[in-house]
Amino acid sequence: MFEPILTRNIHRPNSEKIATYLAHGGYAAVKLALTKTPDELIEMVKRSGLRGRGGAGFPAGVKWGYMPKGAGIQKFVAVNTDEGEPGTFKDREIVERDPHQVIEGVIIAAYAVGASRAYVYIRGEFFLGVKRWIKAIADAYEYGFLGRNILGSGFDLDMSVHRGAGAYICGEETAMLESLEGKRGNPRLKPPYPAQAGLFGLPTLVHNIETLACIPHIVERGPEWFASIGTAESKGPKIFSVSGHVNRPGNYELPLGVTLREIIYEHAGGIRGGRELKAVIPGGASTPMLTASQIDVPMAYETLKAAGSELGTGAIVVLDVTTCMVETARRLTKFFAHESCGRCTPCRIGSQRLYETLDRIESGKGTMDDIDRAVELARGIDGITFCPMGAMLVNPARSAIQHFRPEFEYHILNKHCLVCKSKERNYG
C-alpha cells in the first residue's frame, strides 16, 4: 500500500490551518533548507528527478539551474494555480486543503534561486482556493515563514495572490506572466524563457503547485528517497484526478508508473454500473485518448508517450460504452476553440474550423470528406502555432478519429449517433 505524501494531511480536520500543518511536521523542511546553500538545493532537486506537474513535464532542477545566479538581480517565483485543463482538479484540492505545503515549497525554491518575491496566480473561479491562499499566506507571515529575515536566516520573501479572470490560456506560463502584469493574457514569444526574462522582464521561476508541493519532501527525505518512487524517467508521487464514468471519482495519490487499469479498477472503483470501458483520456482533455485495450500502460511520462499520448496533468477521464466519441471530440474541441487566445492564425481560425467540421459530422450534416478534412486540419494546426496550445487542441479530435473512425462514418451515413441512436443533442 502506497503511503500518501502530498495528500497525507488533507483528510485531517482543519487541514488547511497552519497549526495543523505545524503539528504534523510542517515547515521543518524550510528550516533544514535554510541551513543548505542554494546550489545544494538545486542539486538535490536535480537528483530527485522531479518533473513539472503542470503538464509539460520539464525537469524542475534543470529549470532552477537556468535561473541566473547572483544577488544583484531581482528575481521572482510565480506559482501556477490556474488549473484550467478539463478533468484536472488536483491543484484545487491542494490549495483548499493543504496550502502551507506549497508555501513551504515556494520558500525553499525562492531561497534556492535567490528570489525575494513570489506571486500566486490563481484561477478566478477558485473562490475557496483564493480565500485559503490569502489566509495561509497571512499566517505564514505571522509565524515568520514569510517576510523579512525568515527564521533568522537573513533571507527575505514576500508573497501575494493574484486572481485570474477566466481564461484557459492564462495557465500557459508566459500568458500567466502577462496577466500577472495586468495585461491581456497572451503567450509571449520564447525565447526568452521566463527564467531569463519573466515577470516584468526579470528572471522568474514558474511552477505548478503540485511540483512545488513535492519540494519540502525532497528536502526532508532526500532526493534518493524521492527518486526511488516511480519509473526510470518519472519519479515521485503524483496526484491523479479521476473523473468520468467511474464509481469513485476523485483525486488519488499514487506513485508514477502505476497502470491505468489499477487506477480505474482498484482505486476509482471500476466503471459505473459495471459497464464496459470504451476510452480513457489519461492526462487531461488536451492529451490524446487511449482505447480500452491500452489501459495496461503505466502512468509515466515515457510510457504514455510510447502509447501515443501524454501524462499531461495526470487527469484521467474515463469514458464507458455509452459515450459518443464524435460528441466527445466535438465538445472538447469547442472548449479549445473558445479558449484559443486568438493570437496566431492556425489556432484562432483552425480551432474554429475544426470545431465546425466536427459539429457538422455530429449533427448528421457531414460528408465523408469531412473526416479527412478534420484530420488534415489537425495536421495543419499542429506544430506551427505560436504556443503549445495548437498542438494540444487537436488531440481530442485526432485521437477520436484515429481510434473510432467508424463512429464518425456512422454519424455521416445514418445522420444519427451510433451510441445513443438519437438525433437529439444531449448537451451544449
Give dist(CA 73, CA 94) in Å, integer.
Answer: 31
Under DSSP, the state recorded for 169 is G
Which residue(s) pair with 206 in the sheet?
78
Candidate segments 168-176, 320-328, 374-382, 401-409, binder of ligand FMN by CB under 6 A: 168-176
Shorter beta-carbon distance to ligand SF4: residue 61 or 390: 390
**376 contacts other proteins (rule: CB under 8 A):** yes
Shortest spacing between CB 65 and other proteins, in angstroms: 17
One symbol per residue from 344 to 383: x for binding ligand SF4 (CB under 6 A), - otherwise; what is it? x--xx-----------------------------------
If DSSP codes are grouped into helix, strand and coil, which group holds residue 79? strand
If DSSP codes are grouped into helix, strand and coil, which group holds residue 76? strand
Picked from other proteins, ligand FMN, ligand SF4, none, the partner binding residue 384 (CB below 5 to 8 A depending on kind) is other proteins
Which 75-114 residues touch ligand FMN, going by CB under 6 A?
80, 82-85
CA angle 332, 297, 260 (to 5 degrees): 65
Residue of minimal CB distance from ligand SF4?
Answer: 347
Picked from ligand SF4, other proteins, ligand FMN, none, the partner binding residue 253 (CB below 5 to 8 A depending on kind) is none
7, 5, 27: which is closest to 18 by C-alpha? Answer: 27
**238 contacts ligand FMN (rule: CB under 6 A):** no
Where does residue 269 rank: exposed (0-12), middle (13-18), buried (19+ CB within 10 A)? middle
Give dist(CA 311, CA 2) in Å, integer.
Answer: 20
The three state secondary structure string of 233-279 is: CCECEEEEEEEECECCCEEEEEECCCEHHHHHHHHCCCEHHHCCEEE
My answer on whether omega of the bond before 192 falls inside 30° of 0, hence cis, is: yes
Shortest spacing between CB 55 and ligand FMN, in angstroms: 4
Candidate segments 89-97, 150-158, 325-333, 352-360, binder of other proteins by CB under 8 A: 352-360
Binding ligand FMN (rule: CB under 6 A), the pick from 94, 115, 195, 206 is 206
| Cell numbers describing residue 322 | 455509452
Give dist(CA 232, CA 316) in Å, integer.
Answer: 22
The three state secondary structure string of 290-329 is: EEHHHCCCECCHHHHHHCCCCCCCCEEEEEECCCCHHHHH
Picked from ligand FMN, ligand SF4, other proteins, none, the partner binding residue 5 (CB below 5 to 8 A depending on kind) is none
Which 159-218 residues touch other proteins, going by CB under 8 A?
167, 169, 184, 189
The three state secondary structure string of 277-291 is: EEEEECCCCCCCCEE
One symbol per residue from 285 to 324: x for binding ligand SF4 (CB under 6 A), - otherwise; what is it? ----------------------------------------
Shortest spacing between CB 82 and ligand FMN, in angstroms: 4
Shorter beta-carbon distance to other proteins: residue 305 or 338: 338
**406 contacts other proteins (rule: CB under 8 A):** no
One symbol per residue from 301 to 340: x for binding ligand FMN (CB under 6 A), - otherwise; what is it? ----------------------------------------
Binding ligand SF4 (rule: CB under 6 A), the pick from 77, 146, 316, 341 is 341
If DSSP codes are grouped into helix, strand and coil, which group holds residue 162? strand
Give dist(CA 325, CA 405) in Å, integer.
Answer: 9
Candidate segments 37-45, 164-172, 323-331, 397-405, binder of ligand FMN by CB under 6 A: 164-172
Shortest spacing between CB 342 and other proteins, in angstroms: 3
Binding ligand FMN (rule: CB under 6 A), the pick from 7, 179, 211, 385 is 211
Element (H, E) at 160: strand 158-163
**377 contacts other proteins (rule: CB under 8 A):** yes
The amino acid at residue 119 is Y
Residues that bind ligand FMN (CB under 6 A): 52-56, 58, 80, 82-85, 169, 171-173, 206-208, 211, 387-389
